[in-house]
Structure formats: C-alpha cells, structure tokens
C-alpha cells in the first residue's frame, strides 16, 4: 500500500503523533516522556516557541497504520538573527522502511518551500535547545533528560535519503567527584579567578530563579551568539524555561558567577528526571505522581546543560571556577555522575575544558541539512 502523509491536527491525531515512539522503542534504552507534558509542549497556545515560530505536525500511514511522524517548523527569531530563510524539521520517528522517511521529508520540505524557506536543518524539537539530532553513537546508553534516543537505522535512512551532515552534537560523561584526574591547571585558574579578579559564585534558589534567568539570558545571548544554531532567548521563552527548571531544580547546582556585582558567567546543571520518567511509564496515574514526588531520592545523576561566560571575561578563568564548584558540590551530594551536553563538535574551548575534567565523549548526535531549491514566495 502507498504511504500517505497528512497533518496531525485533531486531538486524536496529536495523540497518535505522541504515541508512535512508545510502540517503536518499547524495550530499548529510550525513556518514555510524560504524555501530558507532550500534549502541552505541542500545543500552539501553551508553548512559548509559537510566540516567534510556526509549525506543522505530520503523520505517515500505510493502510491506516501510523508508520512515521515529522514536524516542519520556522523559527522567525532564528531567521531574523541569522538573516536567513531557514526551516527546520523535528520529532522524527519512523519504522525501518526507506519509503517512510522519503514521504515524510517530502511533506516537510513542501510545507517549508511554500513559506519561502531555502534550506532545512534538523531534527530538532522544536529548537536546538530541546531534543536535537539523530543519535549516531551511544545506542546502548540510556538518554538523560532532553536527550533523544534512536536505533541505528535512523542514521542510515537519513543519509540514504540524501540528508547531509550539518553539525554533530557531543555528550561528555563526567564523574564529578573524581578530582584525582583533574588537570592541575584547573584549580590554579580557579584560585587566580577569585584572588586576582574578585569573582564569586552565588547559588540560585527557587525563589530567585526567574530573576536569575535574566542574568542567564544576558550571558547566553552574548556567550553563545557566535555559535552555530544560536537563537536569542525572549522574555516568553524565559518565563516558560523557569517553569520547566522548577521541575528539575537541584539546590546548589544552579550557579551565577559575579564580578563587582555583574553576572559574568552562569552554569545550570539539572537533575536527570529521566530516571523518574522511566518508572512513570508516560503517565501520572495511578502511581506516576508518587515517583515524581520522590525524584530527589530516585535520581543519582545530572545533566550539565549550560555553562557559559561573557566573552569579555573569558580570560579570568571563571569557567575553571565553575568547574571546581561542581566538584565541591559533588563532595557534599549523592549526585556524583552525569553528562555535559549538547556541545558543538567545533566548540574547542568547551570540549577542551571537559577533557581537562577527565570527561569522555559517550554520545554523538547528528543534525542534518538540505538545500530547498525553487522555494515559493512566503505564504501570507
């Protein structure tokens, strides 16, 4: 039977969109998300992404059976910043059938071309700061929070379909209580940062979190502005991000480095709630809520999501000071293991820093791209 691809717009169709990976990845390292959370995330009225972007969700069927899904989206903030006409695709899931991916990509490309896009990159759900890339190394490992997981055939199908590599994203394994293998230069730089430049590390609290996210945005929008795939955070993005972070907040692991009252660097390291989500099996009821309330007793690992320094302060050694603070936290906490990422493969400073902390690359995700020829004028 031929494959038919249609938009997923009704309540039932969005449910099918959410449910597909539950069937495809049962019994694998993949961690099922909370279905209710996915409903909220995909809702155009509730997700802050849609204040500066638009998207369409597609389902592929063969003889009535759902065999694949994809999204096509345009981030207007991205295109304004980069002066581009780039479209994205995401939420990629498919059965091991080359015809499925071809049909999905055709639908996504047609939607993007019809809105004037000249290139397409992905997958990303919906932006690079959410689950992004196709897993190409580390299949045997369980994903941490906001990391995707895919079987090996996804890479094969993507490259057979003519998608080409745009960027690899790296995840580094860290044992953050292991000072023995830390390069000696790290504590020396940290000490100099405090004594010579007067930098101090302040811990965020739940109460200060939203206010401190303004400092985070200030650092992020300057430190990451030259990075591939960068999109500046808006106020609505920060409001939504603050709510998300409340769910994974761990005292002591959200840090602001200040010099003479100015926030010059930020580190946000979150509790890996994927360990809890695995127990919840995608549902709050009947006992999912109980597992979530006990998340601090269930999770024993972290994900270092952001660590950035304003460019004009990078010579102070403040990054080393934040590294040392992570080691100090680990000595006082049962949370002693985690991963840092996503790190762009071309980010030499961060990759060198993680190597100096005795980290090792354990996962690699690939973002693909394709030129869209004969783009039609943007739809009104």
Rounded Cα distance, 115 and 88, in Å:
12
Answer CATH for 3-169+366-371 from 3.30.70.980, 3.60.15.10, 3.40.50.300, 3.40.630.30: 3.40.630.30
**Span 182-212, pLDDT tens digits:** 888 999 999 999 999 999 999 999 999 999 9
Higher pLDDT, 377 or 163: 163
CA separation for the pair 122, 69 (Å, rounded): 14
What pLDDT, in 10s, does the model give residues 298-341?
778 899 888 899 999 999 999 999 999 998 888 888 888 889 98
Q: What distance in Å separates the CA atoms of residue 159 and residue 366, rounded to the nearest whole number?
A: 11
Encode the chain in three state secondary structure: CCEEEEECCCHHHHHHHHHHHHHHCCCCCCCCCCHHHHHHHHCCCCCHHHHCEEEEEEEEEECCEEEEEEEEEEEHHHHHHHCCCEEEEEEEEECCCHHHHHHHHHHHHHHHHCCCCCEEEECEECCCCCEECEEEECCCCCCCCCCCCCCCHHHHHHHHCCCEEEEEEEEEEEECCCCCCCCCHHHHHHHHHHHHHCCEEEECCCCCHHHHHHHHHHHHHHHCCCCCCCCCCCHHHHHHHHHHHHHHCCCCCEEEEEECCEEEEEEEEEECCHHHHHHHCCCCCCCHHHHHHCHHHHCCEEEEEEEEECHHHHHHCHHHHHHHHHHHHHHHCCCCEEEEEEEECCCHHHHHHHHHCCCEEEEEEEEEEEECCCCCCCCC
**Token digits for 196?**
């010579």
Q: Tokens in use for 334?
A: 């049962």
Could you identify the residue written with the tokens 């345009």? 74
pLDDT, residue 380, reads 47
pLDDT, tens digit, 9 for 90 and up, residues 75-92 = 999 999 999 999 999 999
Q: How far apart are CA 350 and CA 140, in angstroms?
A: 25
CB distance 357 to 190 below 8 Å: no
Residue 293's pLDDT is 67
- Which tokens in the block code for residue 336? 């002693």
Phi, psi angle pair for 241, to nearest 5°:
-65, -35
Over residues 262-308, the pLDDT tens digits come to 999 999 999 898 888 888 888 776 767 666 767 667 778 899 888 89
Is residue 133 exposed (0-12), middle (13-18) or buried (19+ Cβ within 10 Å)? buried
Assigned CATH topology for domain 174-365: Aminopeptidase (3.40.630)
- Angle at CA of residue 143, ends 72 and 163, nearest 5°: 35
Instruction: List where CATH 3.40.630.30 sits in the chain.
Output: 3-169+366-371, 174-365
For the chain, the straight-line distance linking the first and the last C-alpha, in angstroms and rounded, comes to 35
pTM (2 decimals)? Answer: 0.92
Percent of the chain with pLDDT strictly greater than 90 = 70
């Amino acid at each position: 039977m031929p494959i038919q691809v249609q938009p997923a717009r009704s309540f039932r169709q969005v449910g099918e969109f959410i449910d597909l990976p539950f069937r495809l990845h049962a019994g694998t390292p993949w961690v099922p998300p909370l279905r209710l959370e996915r409903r909220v995330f995909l809702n155009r009225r509730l997700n802050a992404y849609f204040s500066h972007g638009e998207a369409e969700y597609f389902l592929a069927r063969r003889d009535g059976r759902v065999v694949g899904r994809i999204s096509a989206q345009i981030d207007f903030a991205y295109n304004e910043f980069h002066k581009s006409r780039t479209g994205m695709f995401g939420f990629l899931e498919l059965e091991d059938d080359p015809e499925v991916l071809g049909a999905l990509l055709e639908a996504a490309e047609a939607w993007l071309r019809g809105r004037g896009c000249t290139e397409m990159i992905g997958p990303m759900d919906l932006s690079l700061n959410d689950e992004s890339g196709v897993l190409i190394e580390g299949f045997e490992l369980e994903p941490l929070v906001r990391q995707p997981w895919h079987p090996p055939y996804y890479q094969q199908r993507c490259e057979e379909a003519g998608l080409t590599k745009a960027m690899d994203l790296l995840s580094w394994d860290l044992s953050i209580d292991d000072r023995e293998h830390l390069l000696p230069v790290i504590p020396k730089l940290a000490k100099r940062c405090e004594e010579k430049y007067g930098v101090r590390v302040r811990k965020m609290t739940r109460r200060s979190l939203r206010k401190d996210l303004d400092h985070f945005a200030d650092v992020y929008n300057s430190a990451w502005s030259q990075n591939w795939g960068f999109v500046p955070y808006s106020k609505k993005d920060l409001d939504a991000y603050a709510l998300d972070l409340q769910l994974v907040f761990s005292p002591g692991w959200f840090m602001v480095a200040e010099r003479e009252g100015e926030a010059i660097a930020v580190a946000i390291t979150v509790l890996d709630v994927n360990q809890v989500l695995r127990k919840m099996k995608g549902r709050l009821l009947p006992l999912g809520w109980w597992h979530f309330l006990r998340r601090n007793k269930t999770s024993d690992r972290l994900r270092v999501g952001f660590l950035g320094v304003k460019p004009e302060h990078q010579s102070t050694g403040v990054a080393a000071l934040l590294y040392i603070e992570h080691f100090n936290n680990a000595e006082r906490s049962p949370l002693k293991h985690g991963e840092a990422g996503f790190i762009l493969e071309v980010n030499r400073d961060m990759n060198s820093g993680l190597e100096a902390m005795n980290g090792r690359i354990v996962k690699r995700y690939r973002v693909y791209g394709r030129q869209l020829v004969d783009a039609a004028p943007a739809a009104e």
